[in-house]
A and B are shown apart, each in its own frame.
Chain A
Amino acid sequence: MNISVNQVQGRVPVAILGVQGDLDATNYQELIAKATEVYRAGARDILVDLGQTSFVSSSGLVALHSIAVILKGEQPPNSEEGWSAIHAVGRGLGSGAQQHIKLLNPQPKVERVMEKAGLKELFEIYTDLAAAVASF
């Protein structure tokens, strides 16, 4: 997996994290680490580009939720605890889609994983980069 970082300017600055390859238990912590890095550098809105992400496991879902927590200025939970981690991530996030992390172009099979895990409603999903950036 490779992670690219781009900064674009919409109404607010948006950091785009592009995930290329498989997002699984071997590397999801790299995505959390990269999100932490851009947050510490000042990013407060993150668009995760999943257009070139071929596979997402439950660990990848934990990573996406952890980014939501990081954007709240909190420490992400122990990411090896699956539901426990997402349970903790859910605490304080409130209901409905998150406003500071959004997803771009997930492949249908990736969307399906999110749907089956009952987590899809937590993320706004866009298929157009400009619309995604303008939504923040």
Chain B
Amino acid sequence: MAMTQGSILQVAAELANLAVVRHFVEEMATGLKFDCSVIDDMLQAVEEAVANTILHGYHRRPGEIQVEVQREGSGLVVRLRDQAPHFDPTGFPPPDLTLPLEERRPGGLGIYLMRQFTDTVTYRVTSDGSNELTLVKKQPVI
């Protein structure tokens, strides 16, 4: 079940809700007047982050994910909060794409794409002990 309150969506941490989260972010970002290219990139990043939380954070066990979408200056900002065990994806080293596939270090494809499609990704533990991942994609200046 999904609940929205203003710019915040709360959903069960289930793969079936990935599309719900994408649609929410798309609708909010469109309302905030961001370009399609900015929104598309953010949707890609959010997808990877949320799927990672469901599969590797909660390990498909029951949980909640909160999604908040805001404009901060020229930036589309999405904050994802969950109560899975603490994990800082920003500390995960990027793969070396110059290496052949079989020599690349395993793990982290979703995290890598999440970072590729955003300008900044920051992580913190909130005062109530939740993981909070903040994704920012800036509107290009023309």
Residues on A lying within 8 angstroms of B by beta carbon are: 22, 24-26, 55, 57-59, 61-62, 80-84, 86-87, 89-91, 93, 95, 109, 113, 116-118, 122
Q: Which residues of B contact A95 (CB under 8 A)?
A: 100
CA distance A80 to B59 in the complex (A): 11
Binds A, one of B14-22, B65-73, B83-91, B119-127: B14-22
Contact at A87–B19, with CB atoms within 8 Å?
no
Taking a contact as CB atoms closer than 8 A, the residue among B22, B51, B113 that contacts A117 in the complex is: B113
Q: With A83-B107, A116-B113, A117-B112 given, is the CB distance from A91 to B19 under 8 Å?
A: no
CB distance from A128 to the nearest CB of B (A): 25
CB distance from A80 to the nearest CB of B (A): 6
Contact at A83–B51, with CB atoms within 8 Å?
no
The 3 closest A-B pairs by CB, nearest first: A90-B101, A82-B109, A118-B97
Q: Which residues of B contact A91 (CB under 8 A)?
A: 101-102
Contact at A57–B44, with CB atoms within 8 Å?
yes
Q: Which residues of A contact B95 (CB under 8 A)?
A: 83, 118
> Residue B40 at the A interface, CB < 8 A?
yes
Q: Which residues of B contact A118 (CB under 8 A)?
A: 95, 97
Q: Which residues of A contact B40 (CB under 8 A)?
A: 109
> Residue B43 at the A interface, CB < 8 A?
yes
Taking a contact as CB atoms closer than 8 A, the residue among B51, B97, B106, B117 that contacts A25 in the complex is: B51
Could you tell me the dominant secondary structure of chain A's interface residues?
helix
> Residue B104 at the A interface, CB < 8 A?
yes
Q: Which residues of B contact A86 (CB under 8 A)?
A: 101, 104, 109
CB distance from A79 to the nearest CB of B (A): 11
Taking a contact as CB atoms closer than 8 A, the residue among A61, A82, A89, A116 that contacts B116 in the complex is: A116
CB distance from B56 to the nearest CB of A (A): 9
Contact at A57–B116, with CB atoms within 8 Å?
no
> Residue B110 at the A interface, CB < 8 A?
yes
> Residue B47 at the A interface, CB < 8 A?
yes
Q: Which residues of A contact B33 (CB under 8 A)?
A: none
CA distance A81 to B104 in the complex (A): 13
CB distance from A108 to the nearest CB of B (A): 9
Contact at A22–B19, with CB atoms within 8 Å?
yes
29 A–B contacts from the bound complex (CB under 8 Å): A22-B19, A24-B51, A25-B15, A25-B18, A25-B47, A25-B54, A55-B22, A55-B47, A57-B113, A58-B51, A59-B51, A62-B109, A80-B55, A81-B106, A81-B107, A82-B108, A83-B105, A83-B106, A83-B109, A84-B106, A84-B107, A87-B106, A90-B102, A93-B101, A109-B40, A113-B44, A117-B109, A117-B116, A118-B95
